[in-house]
Each structure stands twice: as structure tokens, then as C-alpha cells.
Structure 1
Amino acid sequence: MSTASLHIVCPHCHTTNRIASADLSAAPDCGKCHQPLFTGHPVPLDEAAFEKHIARSQVPVLVDFWAPWCGPCRAMAPAFEQAAQQLEPGMRLAKVNTEEAQALAARFNIRSIPTLALFVNGREVARQPGAMGAADIVRWARSQRV
């Protein structure tokens, strides 16, 4: 009897790993860099890493589009950090700095920040603009699961 496996992109070296679904909660490590695949912290992504995580990861990816000059973004950062601790390993949380990744912000038509976007199987499936607390982020993310 075979166990279903998922592709999980490493938050450290961005290598795609195949992990048995049953092993997700057992703190799996990357086969290449041997770092934990889930850290309980959002993963900062540049454009290249974003493409890998969105296209290859088989767990939903919740992205916080933000900018360093944005007060509400800075205020929401600790809540997003807390949400990562609650939502992993069933979901990857990531942050995209729209100042550094302007092409991504333009491609996804990010008009206000912070904006949360949920990606499943490479496609955006839900979006929520505005700052939220940790409980609201977790509740919203879980309610969007496809």
C-alpha cells in the first residue's frame, strides 16, 4: 500500500522535495540542505523563489504582499508570523516585498498593501486586502481551502 506524497519546496534552498503526506507533521527536512521544510515562520520570496514555491509546492501558499514603508504592513507582520505557526505544515506562508519584486506586484495587480493572496496548484484562488490579526488570518485562510 503506497502513501500519497506531496512536493514541498524548501524555504532555505528552494529545492523541491517529495514528502509522504503522513510525514508532514513529523518535521521533515530538505533532502538537499537538510534544513527543516517547515519553520513556523513566513518565507521571504524574491521573484525566482516565488515562481518555484507557487508552481511546485503542493500545499497551498499564502502570500503577504507588503512594503517596508507601509505602516499597516509592519503592524500586521507579527500576526502573519503567528499565523505561520498555526497554519504550517498544511499551508506555506510567504512574504513578497513589493518594492523589491515590483514585477510580481504588477503581474498580480496588487493595488493596496498589505494584500494576502492564496495560491493552490499554481493559481490564485482568493485575495484579501488590508491588515488583519493572527486569528483573522488563520480563519480566513482556512475558510478558503479548496
Structure 2
Amino acid sequence: MSDSTASTSPAGIHLVCAHCDSVVRIPAERLDQGPKCPKCHHGLFGGHPLELTTAAFDRHLSRSDLPLIVDFWAPWCGPCRMMAPHFEEAARRLQTKARFGKVNSDDEPSLSARFGIRGIPTLIAFKQGREIARQSGAMDLGGLLRWLQPHVQ
């Protein structure tokens, strides 16, 4: 699906529910109206990054039409902790333009190995299941939003 059809498709936008991992189709014009999952009735947009596990990662990567922005991090990492509130704010501001996820590299070493994570924090932007951009190192909110801008349109 191309960028233009993702937002104008009569079939709507496909998202993966963060609570039950169901794939949900939402009309593009309803994205800003607080849509809920028809299966579990939780809101599809919570304004927070998803905690992604190995089990759920591929479903969110391949079944959602919105770009997926993933922060590979670890709890002991000072720069990761410094960037966390900025990533959270970006997720809140851009929640209907992209899905935001966090992968704890200590808890999910197979995902870190799969994507060749050599240092943290590392952000990867995915679109249509493919990596389109990567950034290593902590960023403040302004830098993060500038980096995200071309990937979430």
C-alpha cells in the first residue's frame, strides 16, 4: 500500500490493538475520534509507546498501516532514561500518524540481535514492514520530532 492509499483507502487503516493484538480496520477520518478495539473495547490510541515483545513485534510491524517507530533501550542505560520522556511526548503528539513501541534489549535479546542493535538507545522507523531509518543516541524532543517528521507523514 502506498503512502497515499494508506490514508485514503476506502478499506481504512489497519492497526494492531495494543491490548489484544487484534488487527482492526479504522476509517481514516475516524483516527482522531478515539476509536476503540471492537474485540476488547480498549482505546486504540493511548498516547503512550507500546511495550513490544518478541511475540507481538512482527504482528505490529507487518499488520499496521501506520509507520512503526521503535526505541531499543535498557533500564540501566542513562541516555535511554533521559530520552524516555521525549519519546513518550512524541508518541502522544503523533499517536494517529505512527505507532510507537519500546523494546527492552535486556528482555528481548533476539529482537536486538535481529536488528543488529550495537548501542542504545537506538531508534528504528519502519514502514510497510521495512526499516526506513535508524538513529543511535539520545535526542531531546526537538531533535526527535525533526528526525520523525519525514517518516510519519
Normalising by the smaller structure, the TM-score range is over 0.9
Q: Structure 1 CA distance, aligned partners of 2:34 and 2:148?
A: 22
Q: Structure 2 CA distance, aligned partners of 1:145 and 1:86?
A: 11
The letter of the residue matching 1:84 is: A
Q: Which runs of 5+ in 1 are unaligned?
A: none
Q: Structure 2 CA distance, aligned partners of 1:145 and 1:58?
A: 11
**Secondary structure, counterpart of 1:8 in structure 2:** strand
Task: Give the alignment's TM-score, normalised by structure 2.
Answer: 0.91
- The RMSD of aligned alpha carbons is 1.3
Deviations 1:56-113 (A, max 9, x none): 0100000000011111001111111111111111101100001011001000000110
Task: Give the alignment's TM-score, normalised by structure 1.
Answer: 0.95
> 2:15, 2:66 within 8 Å by CA — same for their partners in 1?
yes
Runs of 4+ with >3 A deviation: none
The letter of the residue matching 2:85 is: P
Shift of 1:138: 1.6
Q: Which runs of 5+ in 2 are unaligned?
A: 1-8
Deviations 1:32-58 (A, max 9, x none): 111010111011010111111001010
**Is residue 57 of structure 2 the alignment partner of residue 50 of structure 1?**
yes
Q: Structure 2 CA distance, aligned partners of 1:18 and 1:36?
A: 13
> 1:14 maps to what in 2?
21
| Aligned length, in residue pairs | 145
Shift of 1:145: 4.2
Shift of 1:13: 1.2
Question: Percent of aligned positions with the same letter in both sequences?
Answer: 51
The letter of the residue matching 2:22 is: T
